[in-house]
């Protein structure tokens, strides 16, 4: 009987996908199609869990088939991430008018990413105190031994490295291995490699202009090809979001959500506050927040449903350049740096919250000035090298807990509802990298104000 239900549900999903395709051919606005995919996915996933239950065989197999569309879409986007980082960053150097611009761009992007991460960490601590999570019952519960063991092994591996060794670990060792993403620090290693190639191009431009011109032409041609690939894959967004949201809603048990409901509420409260901080930054630079969020809505919705900052990279760059009028070089820098440095959600709010709850459960006064300042500094420094795909928040939190000599028990319990929190975290991560690009473009006068002011 289960096979019949699965077949019916797959046919229904196929009909929904065909309907989205029909609307796309009718040239319905792209943003509306993305929102429609999100809403239908919420409804369809909710119905699946309501009728069959989150852990049923029917839901598992149906969502497994839907993963062809959802996970397949993310996979295609992730396929572009490394080529996009390399080509975008190198071509950014070929388009820079002077090395002075590089210094200004890098300084401003990193300042925004790291300062907002520090604020995000502070908000995370405040949310724990406000919702009184330092006395939460789940903090004293026992997680499964398998989960504890896995986290403990990861933390032990990280703890074995001294601070100088951790710094060395982000440097490219075998660029081909890093291109394959074999290390947790592969993304930032690729960024560093691309920057070194860019600096080499600057030297070449001064000493051998003809060779530099040939290299620039080749790089710009590759950039155009990658940009075209991005547009082709982004057109699949409404389908991918429908499949991703269906699976997310269908498989996350309501009982598990209820047991850790206060943490989820506190987490999203903190993430919303961080978005308010982002909005205040927009107002500070005289950018209409309503118009801004309309323009980046598609990118943020994808980030929310996919839970992948890396997968969102192509849409991030596209939104910055085409919707906000940000100079392409700045967009490339901010989007690429934002993958592995200063992620407000995964490396700011989340580690600060988990560390605060864990510290309180171990008798530490988390309201003390010393603890708050120490944690904010540790979180901000630890935000370097965070992976832009799944697992980045776990990596960052383990570093913070290890630095503070805190156990991983609380984190092992919270992992049960991590996908739900991770959606909001990823949205905030991506928005912060866009904000970094916008602020940098404003400060360096490298922005098309007409494109920025244009309403959606």
CATH number 1.10.3860.10 given to 81-236+252-453:
yes
On the question of pLDDT at 437 being above 80, the answer is yes
The pLDDT confidence band at residue 262, using thresholds 50, 70 and 90, is confident
Per-residue CA distances from 232 to 8, 87, 308, 314, 325 (Å): 30, 18, 19, 11, 21
3-state helix, strand, coil in the chain (%, to 5): 80, 0, 20
On the question of pLDDT at 373 being above 70, the answer is yes
On the question of pLDDT at 356 being above 70, the answer is yes
The pLDDT confidence band at residue 452, using thresholds 50, 70 and 90, is very high
Instruction: Return all residues near 443 (Cβ < 8 A) that are at least 6 apart.
Output: 104, 108
Q: What is the pLDDT of residue 391?
A: 60
Helix (H, G, I), strand (E, B) or coil at 114: helix
On the question of pLDDT at 163 being above 70, the answer is no
Global pTM reads 0.84
Q: What is the pLDDT of residue 427?
A: 95
On the question of pLDDT at 386 being above 70, the answer is no
On the question of pLDDT at 122 being above 80, the answer is yes
Q: What is the pLDDT of residue 147?
A: 61
Would you list the domain boundaries of the chain? 81-236+252-453
CA 398, 401, 405, 410 torsion-angle sign = negative
Q: What is the pLDDT of residue 75?
A: 86
On the question of pLDDT at 132 being above 90, the answer is no
CA 346 to chain centre: 8
CA distance 279 to 277: 5
CA 138 to chain centre: 27
Q: What is the mean pLDDT of residues 299-309?
A: 87
The pLDDT confidence band at residue 136, using thresholds 50, 70 and 90, is low
The pLDDT confidence band at residue 138, using thresholds 50, 70 and 90, is low
Q: What is the mean pLDDT of residues 273-302?
A: 95
Enter the tokens of residue 422: 């991770």
Q: What is the pLDDT of residue 93?
A: 83
The C-alpha torsion from 114 through 191 and 402 to 131, rounded to 10°, is: 40
Share of the chain above pLDDT 90, in %: 39
What is the per-residue pLDDT across 36-86, written as a single tens digit (0 to 9) for each?
A: 998 999 899 989 988 888 888 998 999 999 999 988 988 887 788 788 888
More confident residue, 422 or 81: 422
CA distance 352 to 125: 6
The pLDDT confidence band at residue 150, using thresholds 50, 70 and 90, is low
Residues in the chain: 456
CA distance 408 to 354: 9
CA distance 337 to 329: 12
What is the per-residue pLDDT across 317-344, written as a single tens digit (0 to 9) for each?
A: 989 999 999 998 899 889 988 887 888 9
On the question of pLDDT at 414 being above 90, the answer is no
Q: What is the pLDDT of residue 433?
A: 96
Residue ranges in 235-307 assigned as alpha helix (H)? 237-251, 254-259, 261-284, 289-306
On the question of pLDDT at 229 being above 70, the answer is yes
CB atoms within 10 A of CB 95: 15
Instruction: Return all residues near 96 (Cβ < 8 A) that are at least 6 apart.
Output: 102, 329
On the question of pLDDT at 287 being above 90, the answer is yes
What is the per-residue pLDDT across 178-221, written as a single tens digit (0 to 9) for each?
A: 887 777 677 778 888 988 998 899 889 889 989 989 998 998 88
Q: What is the pLDDT of residue 387?
A: 58
Per-residue CA distances from 148 to 176, 189, 317, 339, 406 (Å): 33, 29, 38, 27, 13
Q: What is the pLDDT of residue 81?
A: 79
On the question of pLDDT at 145 being above 80, the answer is no
Q: What is the pLDDT of residue 65?
A: 93
CA distance 387 to 389: 6
The pLDDT confidence band at residue 455, using thresholds 50, 70 and 90, is confident
Winning range, highest mean pLDDT, from 153-162, 213-222, 250-259, 382-391: 213-222
Per the prediction, the chain carries an average pLDDT of 85
On the question of pLDDT at 389 being above 70, the answer is no
Burial of 197 (0-12, 13-18, 19+ CB in 10 A): middle
The pLDDT confidence band at residue 239, using thresholds 50, 70 and 90, is very high
């Amino acid at each position: 009987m289960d096979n019949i239900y699965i077949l019916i549900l797959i046919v229904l999903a196929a009909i929904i996908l065909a309907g989205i395709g029909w609307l796309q051919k009718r040239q319905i606005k792209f943003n509306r199609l993305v929102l429609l995919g999100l809403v239908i996915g919420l409804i369809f996933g909710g119905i699946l869990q309501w009728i069959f239950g989150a852990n049923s065989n029917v839901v598992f197999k149906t969502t497994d088939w839907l993963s062809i569309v959802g996970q397949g879409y993310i996979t295609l986007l992730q396929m572009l991430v490394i080529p996009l980082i390399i080509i975008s960053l190198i071509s950014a150097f070929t388009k820079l008018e002077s090395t002075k611009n590089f210094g200004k761009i890098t300084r401003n992007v990193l300042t925004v990413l790291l300062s907002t991460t520090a604020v995000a960490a502070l908000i995370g601590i405040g949310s724990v105190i406000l919702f009184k999570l330092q006395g939460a019952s789940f903090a004293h519960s026992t997680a499964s031994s398998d989960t504890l063991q896995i986290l403990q092994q990861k933390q032990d591996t990280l703890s074995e490295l001294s601070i100088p060794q951790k710094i060395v670990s982000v440097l490219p060792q075998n660029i081909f291995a890093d291109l394959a993403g074999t290390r947790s620090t592969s993304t930032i290693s690729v960024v560093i490699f691309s920057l070194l190639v860019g600096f080499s191009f600057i030297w070449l431009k001064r000493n051998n202009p003809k060779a530099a011109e040939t290299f620039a032409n080749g790089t710009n041609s590759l950039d155009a090809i990658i940009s075209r690939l991005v547009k082709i894959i982004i057109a699949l967004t409404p389908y991918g979001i429908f499949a991703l949201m269906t699976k997310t809603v269908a498989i996350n048990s309501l009982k598990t959500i209820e047991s850790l409901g206060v943490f989820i509420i506190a987490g999203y409260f903190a993430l919303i506050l961080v978005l308010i901080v982002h909005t205040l930054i927009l107002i500070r630079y005289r950018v209409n927040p309503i118009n801004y969020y309309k323009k980046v809505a598609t990118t943020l919705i994808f980030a929310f449903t996919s839970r992948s900052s890396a997968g969102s990279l192509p849409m991030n760059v596209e939104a910055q350049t085409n919707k906000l009028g940000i100079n392409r070089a700045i967009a490339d820098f901010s989007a690429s740096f934002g993958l592995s440095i200063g992620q407000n959600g995964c490396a700011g709010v989340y580690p600060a919250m988990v560390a605060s709850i864990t510290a309180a459960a171990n008798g530490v006064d988390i309201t003390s000035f010393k603890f708050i300042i120490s944690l904010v500094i540790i979180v901000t420094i630890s935000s370097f090298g965070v992976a832009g795909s799944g697992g980045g928040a776990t990596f960052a939190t383990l570093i913070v807990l290890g630095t503070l000599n805190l156990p991983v028990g609380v984190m092992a319990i919270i992992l049960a509802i991590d996908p739900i929190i991770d959606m909001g975290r990823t949205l905030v991560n991506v928005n912060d990298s866009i904000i970094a690009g916008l602020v940098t473009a404003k400060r360096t006068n490298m922005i098309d104000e007409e494109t920025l002011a244009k309403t959606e």
